[in-house]
Structure 1
Amino acid sequence: MDITPLIPTGKQIVKGYGDGGFTIAGLRWEGSVLVLPDRTQSWSVTDLGGVTEDSLSPLLALTEKPRVLLLGCGKRMAPVPASLRAALRAAGITLELMDTGGACRTFNVLVSEDRSVAAALIAV
């Protein structure tokens, strides 16, 4: 029995993470990344302290913003400043914090459900 989730056409999933990067849609990305269902880009953030409104500006500048942003905090989940959460909320984005592995898995599930999601993943 095949239990692989069906991925909508034109969407990508995170196939793997670790060793300082990610495998997404068949490509290896070194370092942290911002992932949308249809594209990925490098992200200069190396730790949770670098997650700011400015570092998330590529997502905030989108015409169609994701409804949910999964923040993969690294090896362990940690809080973010209330001001960051408020800025995202003002843009119509709900922030969900989790460790990077959990964020990768959750992103894949939400993409398979064709949900409006993005992931900001700190490499581990």
Structure 2
Amino acid sequence: MEIRKAHFPGRAPIDAYGDGGFRFANMSHLGSLLCVPSGIYGWNIGDPAEFSDEAFQRVFEEHADIEVLLVGTGKDLRPLPADLKFRFREVEILADPMSTGAAVRTFNVLLSEDRAVAAALLAVD
């Protein structure tokens, strides 16, 4: 049996979240997600304290195709570290932290409008 890193090669709305994971594209994923133009990836981040340039590396690699990054910080809104906010501004990405639920809903709306949106979503119970 081959075990690969979780990756869905496309864009899809998030159908549900909670119980430590997400449902999208008739699949489920346990853990956090990173939704960027190249696809939806399992994201090995569980707490806003782990936010760093390295954690968002894939976002920075795809920055030319992203205008808005929605950052779902869990059950509650948690601000982004100042240095990370500055880094997003440098690559002309509007990074907007909010609760994961709000980020999922906003992501789905912007995705349906075919906007250049990405999302970094922490899983919630």
When the two structures are superposed, what TM-score results if normalisation uses the length of structure 1?
Answer: 0.87
In 2, Cα distance between equivalents of 1:94 and 1:58: 16
Partner of 1:67: 67
Residue type at the aligned position of 2:85: R
Match of 1:114 in 2: 114
Runs of 5+ unmatched residues, structure 1 = 1-9
Q: 1:25 offset after TM fit, Å?
A: 1.6
Gaps of 5+ in 2: 1-9
What are the Cα deviations for residues 72-99 of structure 1, in whole angstroms up to 9, with x where unaligned? Answer: 0000001121110000110111011110
- Residues 1-124 of structure 1 aligned to structure 2 (within 5 Å): 11-36=11-36, 39-62=39-62, 64-124=64-124
Moved more, 18-27 or 106-115: 18-27
Give the counterpart letter for 1:123 in structure 2: A
Specify the SS of the correspondent of 1:64. helix
Compute the TM-score of the two structures, normalised by the length of structure 2: 0.87
Identical pairs, percent: 41
**Number of equivalences:** 115
Runs of 4 or more consecutive aligned structure 1 residues displaced over 4 Å after TM superposition: none
The change in CA–CA distance for 1:92 and 1:22 in structure 2 (over 3 A counts) is same
How large is the Cα RMSD of the aligned pairs? 1.4
Deviation at 1:11, TM superposition (A): 3.9
